[in-house]
């Protein structure tokens, strides 16, 4: 059985050689731009760029497909609700008094503008979901801790964050072990319906939660035994140094954010009415 690890990238790329502070700046800038833009065209372009960057960095295509499959029901529900019921907000954004009908069900109309706004929300969430593995999957957890500490983030918060990243793969492995044991006993989960699968996975949740609580209690005992204080003035095995490339990229990302805001405010680039 293949072990689960946050660092799923199995090849070297320019992203793996960057300091995590640079990637953190990238995450913040891309997220702010995604929140600012209302146009599905601009949002879709940003999502495409982030997805291509993930593939270039070595994030597995199967992981991206898993995200899409998992989020597909939510996105479908979002498109339907936005298309049918998001009327007043879209009228305000477009300046129109009448919207373009796309589908009529009884007395309710699904509008083109509402559907496009739903697409924009989908692209926003996809961008934020994809930018996380682009930064985290290409960074060693220890190097991430050093970078965050040097970024003046309180060490206790950094420690909790890194502990979560280390604990989650263990829980995934335990869940896989439980499912494998059930398969060996003749339980064909693949042939079950969604309701039956839900019951099986719900039964797995109880031992997983108990194991997580037991591990957290053991960690608490170990930290108390070692007199953990959360003091950031400590030595690290690994170094985290910002190179010239990191400084250039940080400046470039900040410039991109300022440029996107100026284009949005002055010329309407990225606004929802930009399409109309």
pLDDT of res. 1: 45
Q: How confident is the model at residue 145 (pLDDT cuts 50, 70, 90)?
A: confident
pLDDT of res. 206: 78
In a domain, 11, yes or no: no
Per the listing, tokens 């319906």 go with 193
- Same domain? 116 vs 179: no
- Same domain? 107 vs 218: no
- Same domain? 131 vs 250: yes
Alpha helices in 137-243 (DSSP H): 141-150, 155-184, 194-225
Q: At what angle do helices 155-184 and 194-225 cross, to 10 degrees?
A: 140
CA distance 276 to 125: 23
- Same domain? 205 vs 87: no
* Helix/strand/coil for 51: helix
pLDDT tens profile 76-90: 999 999 999 988 888
- Same domain? 116 vs 32: yes
pLDDT of res. 232: 61
pLDDT tens profile 8-50: 677 788 888 899 999 999 999 999 999 999 999 999 999 999 9
CA distance 82 to 113: 9
> Poorest-confidence range of 72-76, 127-131, 168-172, 208-212?
168-172
pLDDT of res. 276: 58
In a domain, 8, yes or no: no
pLDDT tens profile 233-264: 666 667 778 899 999 999 999 999 999 999 99
Per the listing, tokens 């009884």 go with 106
Question: How many structural domains is the chain composed of?
Answer: 2
Q: How confident is the model at residue 148 (pLDDT cuts 50, 70, 90)?
A: confident
For 99, the domain range is: 16-139+241-276
In a domain, 251, yes or no: yes
In a domain, 1, yes or no: no
Query: pLDDT > 70: what percent of the chain?
Result: 92
- Same domain? 227 vs 253: no
Average pLDDT of the residues of the chain: 84
Under 8 Å CB-to-CB from 7, ≥6 apart: which residues?
137, 138, 139, 140, 141
pLDDT of res. 31: 96
- Same domain? 126 vs 208: no
In a domain, 21, yes or no: yes
In a domain, 183, yes or no: yes
* Helix/strand/coil for 191: helix
Query: pLDDT > 90: what percent of the chain?
Result: 37
In a domain, 148, yes or no: no
Supply φ then ψ for residue 137, to 5 degrees: -70, -15
- Same domain? 114 vs 74: yes
pLDDT of res. 56: 92
Greatest mean pLDDT range, 45-59, 95-109, 189-203 = 45-59
- Same domain? 219 vs 262: no
- Same domain? 67 vs 134: yes
Closest CA to 33 of 274, 251, 267, 262: 262
pLDDT of res. 2: 47
- Same domain? 110 vs 205: no
């Amino acid at each position: 059985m293949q072990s689960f690890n946050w660092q799923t990238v199995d090849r070297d790329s320019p992203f793996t050689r960057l300091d995590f502070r640079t990637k953190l700046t990238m995450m913040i800038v891309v997220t702010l731009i995604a929140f600012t833009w209302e146009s599905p065209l601009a949002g879709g372009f940003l999502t495409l760029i982030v997805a291509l960057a993930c593939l270039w960095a070595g994030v597995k295509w199967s992981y991206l497909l898993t995200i899409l499959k998992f989020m597909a029901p939510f996105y479908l529900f979002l498109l339907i609700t936005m298309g049918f019921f998001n009327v007043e907000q879209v009228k305000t954004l477009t300046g129109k008094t009448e919207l373009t009908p796309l589908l009529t069900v009884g007395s309710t109309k699904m509008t083109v503008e509402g559907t496009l706004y739903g697409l924009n929300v989908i692209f926003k969430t996809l961008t934020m979901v994809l930018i996380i593995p682009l930064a985290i999957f290409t960074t060693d957890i220890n190097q991430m801790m050093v970078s965050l500490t040097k970024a003046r983030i309180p060490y206790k918060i950094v420690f909790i964050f890194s502990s979560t990243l280390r604990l989650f793969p263990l829980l995934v492995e335990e869940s896989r072990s439980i499912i494998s044991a059930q398969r060996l006993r003749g339980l064909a989960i693949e042939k079950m319906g969604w309701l039956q699968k839900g019951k099986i996975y719900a039964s797995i949740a109880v031992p997983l939660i108990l194991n997580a609580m037991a591990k957290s209690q053991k960690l608490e005992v170990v930290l108390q035994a070692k007199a953990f204080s959360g003091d950031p003035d400590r030595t690290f095995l690994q170094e985290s140094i910002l190179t010239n490339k990191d400084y250039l990229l940080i400046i470039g990302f900040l410039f991109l954010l300022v440029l996107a805001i100026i284009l949005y405010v002055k010329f309407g680039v990225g606004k929802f009415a930009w399409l109309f």
